[in-house]
Amino acid sequence: MATILITSATLVSAGHPLHMTSVDVLVKNGKIEQVGKKVKAEGKFEEIDGKGSYLSIGFFDLNVNFGEPGYETKEDIQTGTAASAAGGFTGVAVHPNTNPPIHSRSEVALIVNSAKGNLVDVFPVGALSKKREGNELAELYDMKITGAVAFTDGTRSVQQAGLMGRALLYAKGFDGLILSFAQDESIAGDNKMNEGEVSTYLGMKGIPNLAESIMISRDLFLAEYNESKIHFSTISTEESVDLIKKAKAKGIKVTCDVAAHNLLFTDEDVKSFDSHYKVSPPLRTKKDVKALLKGLKDGVIDAIVSQHTPQEIEFKDVEFQIAKDGIIASQTVLPMLLKAGLNVEQIVEKLAVNPRNILNLPVPKIEVGNEANLVLFSTDKKWTLDTKSNKSKSSNSPWFGQEVTGKVIAVLNNNQVIKNN
């Protein structure tokens, strides 16, 4: 990477002496050489104008799906990381919703080796059970020492309480982290959207909030009993926020995240039968969205994720009931969070700092001598997600073809730089 001088950007770094002030940052050979009010570069360098924009450590996504291995037609590591980088992410945790699943050291090694040399750091999340079938524990420790940062069955919720309890106890022995996707399938069934007034109006069977809260209650009891830590992925209901808030007050070692789209869209959007609004967990009510946003501001919800889930057109351009779940979201997380009303300090905390803390990964610092792990972003620049700007192989997004506000200008990591024109 050439010498880079970022000028006149507002630094967002809580605890830094220059937090929320205008700074210049000089990066040479991938390392931060100077941070200050007026920095002068010598010799040949590239200047990136940060006036009116914000500079922070790179975002980190706790929940992405890249398809590889097995579903490379949806996304592979190269296109997935390109989309992540365009969205401001310098690190991602790849979930095991693949074929075969990431359920042994072989698949973990494949991900780690395939992602080497990338601007975006890729961390595999191993499957909790073999083949993600929910019957027998996978090789958790083997995957951990090969590079897995956590364990989950991804979009398949663990239905056996005994298996979840054993996973929590076993992972505790080597400080592993279990991620729980909370949904009781006997209550959720094969239903397609949130249960409520809108599902009744549309004549569509719904998934009640109870399907999520009953599993969160179960897993909180299991975590408390085993004195282990647990993280809940993509919570979506008011009841879930309340349960986790009480658990934290009780001293249970629990963290959680929410998908960006669950902070903005509601089941009202499903009235159009647009399959781009079909996600798991489903879009809930305005009351739930309000509770999720309050949970974020109160510190109950620790992180925000993209839940980037690419699907080929033949799985989305069909009737709502038979369409696959998920949207591509890596590139639109920032616009969604700004539209939801979050400020830049909240965005950096929930999207850059806390995700790394949850996984016990080092949090980059914007200090002289440190590796440059940075994102420069604007809160008011507009752009359109279309075939030209989209970096993913797939296009299943409710934002596709629309102008959005909030743009990532540049991303620096691993002695590389990517700029969005």
Q: How many domains does the chain have?
A: 2
Residue 42 has pLDDT above 90, yes or no: no
Q: Are residues 100 and 193 in the same domain?
A: yes
Answer with the one of 316, 338, 358 that is the final residue of a domain: 358
Answer with the one of 333, 358, 383 that is the final residue of a domain: 358
Q: Are residues 212 and 249 in the same domain?
A: yes
With a pLDDT cut of 70, the percent of the chain lying above it is 100
Residue 40 has pLDDT above 90, yes or no: no
pLDDT for res 131: 95
pLDDT in tens, 285-299: 999 999 999 999 999
pLDDT in tens, 367-397: 999 999 999 999 999 999 999 999 999 999 9
Q: Are residues 51 and 80 in the same domain?
A: no
Q: Are residues 373 and 229 in the same domain?
A: no
Residue 188 has pLDDT above 80, yes or no: yes
**Termini Cα distance of the chain:** 18
Tell me what the mean pLDDT of segment 165-187 comes to: 97
pLDDT for res 80: 97
Q: Are residues 407 and 326 in the same domain?
A: no
Q: Are residues 390 and 336 in the same domain?
A: no
| pTM for this predicted structure | 0.96
pLDDT in tens, 315-340: 999 999 999 999 999 999 999 999 99
Q: Are 57 and 365 in contact (CB under 8 A)?
A: yes
Sign of CA dihedral 186, 188, 190, 191: positive
* pLDDT confidence tier of residue 43, bands split at 50, 70 and 90: confident
Which residue is it, tokens 């009202």? 268
Answer with the one of 331, 358, 385 that is the final residue of a domain: 358
Q: Are residues 395 and 345 in the same domain?
A: no
Q: Are residues 8 and 84 in the same domain?
A: no
Tell me what the mean pLDDT of segment 295-311 comes to: 97
Q: Are residues 308 and 270 in the same domain?
A: yes
* pLDDT confidence tier of residue 418, bands split at 50, 70 and 90: very high
Q: What is the CATH number of the domain that holds 400?
A: 2.30.40.10
Q: Are 179 and 152 in contact (CB under 8 A)?
A: yes
Q: Are residues 252 and 272 in the same domain?
A: yes
Q: Are residues 62 and 74 in the same domain?
A: yes
Q: Is 337 exposed, middle or buried (0-12, 13-18, 19+ CB in 10 A)?
A: buried
Tell me what the mean pLDDT of segment 178-196 comes to: 95
Q: What is the CATH number of the domain that holds 274?
A: 3.20.20.140
Residue 16, domain extent: 4-55+367-419
Q: Name residues whose C-beta falls within 8 Å of residue 162's C-beta, 6 or more positions apart in sequence.
A: none
Residue 246 has pLDDT above 90, yes or no: yes
Q: Are residues 249 and 320 in the same domain?
A: yes
* pLDDT confidence tier of residue 60, bands split at 50, 70 and 90: very high
